Structure 1
Amino acid sequence: MFQEILNRVYDVVGCDRMYVELKLFMRYPMPGKYVPIALEDDESLSAMWLSVTQTSAMAMEVYIEQVPKEINVQSNVGYVPSMDFRDSMEVPTSAPNMQFESFTSMLSDPHYEHVDSDRDEDDDARELVDKAIKAGVPSQDWLRVDEVDQRLIDSWMTWNVTGSLTVASEFEIGQEFASLQQLKNFVKAWSISRNQMFRVLESEPTKYVIESILGDITCGDHPLISSDFVADLIEDFIRTDPSFKVQSILTVVKNQYQFSITYKRAWLAKQKAISNIFGDWEKSYQELPRYLQALKESNRGTVVYWSTIPTQDPTTHIFRRVFWAFKPSISGFRHCRPLITIDGTHLYGKYKGKLLIAMGTDANFQLFPLAFAVVEEESTEDWSWFLACIRSSVTDRKDLCVISDRHRGILAAMNEPGSGW
């Protein structure tokens, strides 16, 4: 899909691939500012569509960067001879500030004059075209929110922090912050953007006193850009797209603060952001009993079976496996075909395991979810327990046809005397 769109951009712009490479960027909303995110593949394109839907935005601005290619012919490097958008190519007579000018708005600006493509024989004209193209590339420093269409700003208001603060802002008497953590993050962003450090003299719930330390940071990595700071920076990205790439995190930090961080720190920041949004692995397992209990209470007749390992503390049990089947599935299976498909799949995360699934087939030959279980592994014991739970609480229908991948655990469980299969 991305390649098709890129090809269409080349066609609409009328740009010759031999001379110029086009790069696409979406203008992604962040608290009080926007940052450029490269559109490079289907995954990044899907993330853009998801961003539009989740922010209720009317549009996502996309920018085109023209990168002249070096070719081994007697021609000016930046010259684009076949760019004839709407039968002409319009280039600026001067080099205006292009921080927020999209490519289409550049073409429609009345201050741009027509240049005929036949002028490639004139060396002076080619040089002017080359300079114009390079001057027309949008800047990567997208912080001037005032130049954006107000309708787009309004549609992204949920992304803005109190007072629409940016790293370019100055502190003022009377500024308000939603929390102490927000104030700390703003102080860090302010210091990083000015290539400085600070020391904390006093930190209380209602009082935060700092002292600025003069002197530029000479190394490529700013000490204040910690994994916690980056996690807060990218939280909106991760909330929109949990698969947001670590390499993109490195780009965001570099573009916004002009400092580089290590891949490990960016990866750690992503894990912290995921934990902040969705909860960490330990808390997720602690919430699982409450979650399944809520399912039972809101879906009367839903079946849940636990298997845990007791500990010396009677209030603490170690998770072993859990089975559940929803009441609508149990009731509906009576009207399905006498067929069950069972299989298991890996769980990926900090804690490994397997998800066991049983599916039925309705009268319209559509899959019908029947029962689920999370177990440690696909052992004979686990499959026996899963199939026994189905027999005791989901269906006791005779002459059921079972389709499986003939896993040895499944075959052993099926052949056990008294298994009911």
Structure 2
Amino acid sequence: MTASTAIARLNAADPDFARHLDHLLSWESVSDDAVNQRVLDIIKAVRERGDAALVEFTQRFDGVDAKSIDDLILGRERLELALTRITPAQREALEKAADRVRGYHERQKQDSWTYTEADGTVLGQKVTPLDRAGLYVPGGKASYPSSVLMNAIPAKVAGVGEVVMVVPTPRGEINELVLAAACIAGVDRVFTIGGAQAVAALAYGTESVPQVDKVVGPGNIYVATAKRHVFGQVGIDMIAGPSEILVVCDGQTDPDWIAMDLFSQAEHDEDAQAILVSPDVAFLDKVAASIDKLLPTMERAEIIKTSINGRGALIQVRDMQQAMEVANRIAPEHLELSVADPQAWLPQIRHAGAIFMGRHTSEALGDYCAGPNHVLPTSGTARFSSPLGVYDFQKRSSIIFCSEQGASELGRTASVLARGESLTAHARSAEYRIVADKKGN
């Protein structure tokens, strides 16, 4: 039987609370020098040797006996075959989730717009989808078909011309659910490559792997480091940290439910973070007891235990108002408002990736099938970042059309400002288009 956890207990009234909380939240995604150099070497090799480097790295790192790049390409027919190899229940679940994700993201689509000023000047914005997006999917046993849906469907809804998926198959291990999800989500091409080499291939292109405009999707430290290095050559979604959940509860939800909600993120990996905030100290005790009771029943008990002991916490606050302040301080990836009237508290939440309202809305529903995207900002970046969405696969161009009168009027303003910056060519370019008025001025 797994030993009891030793989850941290914090009290917001403690004078050292802010320091303790900051220590609890701290997490660095910094690669060490060895990882960083290895990734740079891999990127350089892929840029110089293309497909040959991809084959070599896949043999070395994934143990795949690939003779050429052709052995690392999966056609559309292979994705369709995967649909027949999963169970009917799995296919139904994937299709239902895909429909809900698609329906939600359809509402995010932005249209181009213009307006015309009195003098005939037209201003506006043109919204255009990316030509091609690259989707990185972890492979092997740690496979997440839900992530395929969450990354590929918004791209397709946005109108991206081609979605290219890369997924490693360590020791030749292929996850049929991942391929089935790719089929349902409309992925166009699949390469069975992974790691930094896959990111490099997407960013720079090879003889066989097309260069993309943006790379999205989760991965290990090598993938994250590679994404950092290729940013600028291509766009990236984010550098994601470990999964997080913050539950704010008034003490009236079943403590077993709350314990399992905390587990749902702690089971991702040892660095995941699960925190409960409540003004009810007796309820915190009940949840602690539920954690100890339920932990031995979990398949990933050791991972959960390490996560809970290392980065978890039960935080006592003065009242629900202070609970909201703590929640905004943490800016969590996932926030559950497990309270009687979540709508009343929603206006006070300023920083959260996704907000789960009420006692019956578990974070797990958002991970799979509620509809909103589960690719969310972590490590406090919800202060300035948003969930992945259709807007991440579109770009906006400004539209400016000046009538003769408009160019003349704007030219006077531009001239003054340009000469103030000593940029004479700017000024004269604008001044050429100034039309003298009828009084000869």
TM-score, with structure 1 as normaliser: 0.22
Q: Which one has more relative contact order, counting CA pairs under 8 Å at least 6 apart?
A: 2
TM-score, with structure 2 as normaliser: 0.21
Greater Rg by CA: 1
